[in-house]
Amino acid sequence: MSFQESLVSPNGLSFTPNTLRKVPTLSLANYTSGNDQQKSDFINKLYLGLKDYGFIILKDHGVDPALLSRAYGLLEKFFQLPEETKRTYVSKAGGGQRGYTPFGQEHAKDAKVMDLKEFWHVGREVSATNPLKDKYYPDNIWPAELPEFKIVFSQLYADLENAGQVMLEALTGPLEVEKDFFKNMTYEGNSILRLLHYPPIPVGTDPRCLRSAPHEDINFITLLPAATASGLQLKDRDGTWLDIASEPDSLIVDAGDMLARLTNDVIPSTTHQVINSLESKNKARYSMPFFMHPNPNAILSCLPSCRGAGAKYPDISGGDFLMQRLREIGLIK
């Protein structure tokens, strides 16, 4: 199907994409505090943007720009620490679920070479009596060298999760599910805030290596505060790579595998990458994606409105699907 042909939403409404070649920018305030028309327009544009591109850019999202600035400053300070210091924060729980993961350890699914990045994970805190704690919710790790780290990134986690909950709620109308459908699925969800450092590309690096090789995200949606340097691209529906440029303090939002599975690929998971661009390959790049996950016990089952000729994928729990994908990208054995 060409881009100029009409597409059909699950509820049978046809539309012709009119935002081709430029990822649409939406205001979350139009949904949270706008009039009925603004709210309706946001819902439609969010659904169609994710269906058409797999990505949208979000402004007026409620995450304080001053918090984002503090977070990026702390990120830079942490990754400038000596390698031996950073490695003391590798989690004993394994799988990179919390704390530090060293450079060159993760790769894209089926990739032959490692990505050119190191990162830190902040996850959900649950009570000691939660039956899922040992398997999915190890304690967060906080670097002693940076006392602000816990305060800033705990707040950023909460604020990004709140924005994500609102966006998922906005999708419930087009997908014909109850308004609290995603809220229930993501209750005590296994969401992760990933704090990424892409260092300057080392001399002699295997030319096949990218900062982040082509991949799809595992989760429902990802909320990515605008990074400190260029390089992010999405694979457009015609197979070409499209640069994603956004204003400072905006959020870039994309749909992941779990949402694609739930919607029977009505909202596809979009392939994207971070290239070694000429503009930024000789300087560090930092980014902070928030990966919004369901509760590990939530079942990913094809929505009735998206079933069409039949479900493409068998039911699977969020936890089992996550473990399957973590093995595929090299974070667990």
d(C-alpha 325, C-alpha 329), whole Å: 6
Q: For residues 329 and 186, which has the higher predicted lDDT (pLDDT)?
A: 186
pTM, rounded to two decimals? 0.87
* Contact (CB, 8 A) for 3 and 238: yes
d(C-alpha 262, C-alpha 50), whole Å: 14
Amino acid at 301: S
Band the pLDDT of 241: cuts 50, 70, 90. Answer: confident
* Contact (CB, 8 A) for 50 and 255: yes
Beta bridge partners of 242: 234
Neighbour tally for 183: CB within 10 Å: 15
* Contact (CB, 8 A) for 142 and 149: yes
Q: Which residues contact 170 (CB under 8 A, 6 or more apart)?
A: 31, 42, 43, 46, 47
Tell me the three state secondary structure of residue 135: helix
Give the model confidence (pLDDT) of 43-59 as tens digits. 999 999 999 888 899 99
* Contact (CB, 8 A) for 54 and 255: yes
* Contact (CB, 8 A) for 233 and 271: no
* Contact (CB, 8 A) for 246 and 226: yes
d(C-alpha 117, C-alpha 17), whole Å: 35
Give the model confidence (pLDDT) of 212-230 as tens digits. 767 788 999 999 998 877 7
Beta bridge partners of 241: 235
Band the pLDDT of 211: cuts 50, 70, 90. Answer: confident
Paired sense of beta strands 251-255 and 290-292, if any = unpaired
d(C-alpha 213, C-alpha 241), whole Å: 13
Output the pLDDT for position 246. 77
* Contact (CB, 8 A) for 102 and 90: yes
d(C-alpha 159, C-alpha 157), whole Å: 6
> Is the pLDDT score of 306 beyond 60?
yes
Q: Count Cβ atoms within 10 A of the Cβ of residue 1 and give its class: 0-12 exposed, 13-18 middle, 19 or more buried.
A: exposed
Paired sense of beta strands 285-287 and 212-215, if any = unpaired
Q: How many residues in the chain?
A: 333
Give the model confidence (pLDDT) of 93-146 as tens digits. 766 789 999 886 665 565 666 677 899 999 999 999 999 998 899 999 999 999
Beta bridge partners of 145: none
Q: Can you read off the two tokens belonging to residue 43?
A: 């819902």
Output the pLDDT for position 268. 92
Domains and CATH numbers, the chain: 59-328 (2.60.120.330)
Q: Can you read off the two tokens belonging to residue 271?
A: 């392939």
Output the pLDDT for position 8. 41
d(C-alpha 262, C-alpha 174), whole Å: 13
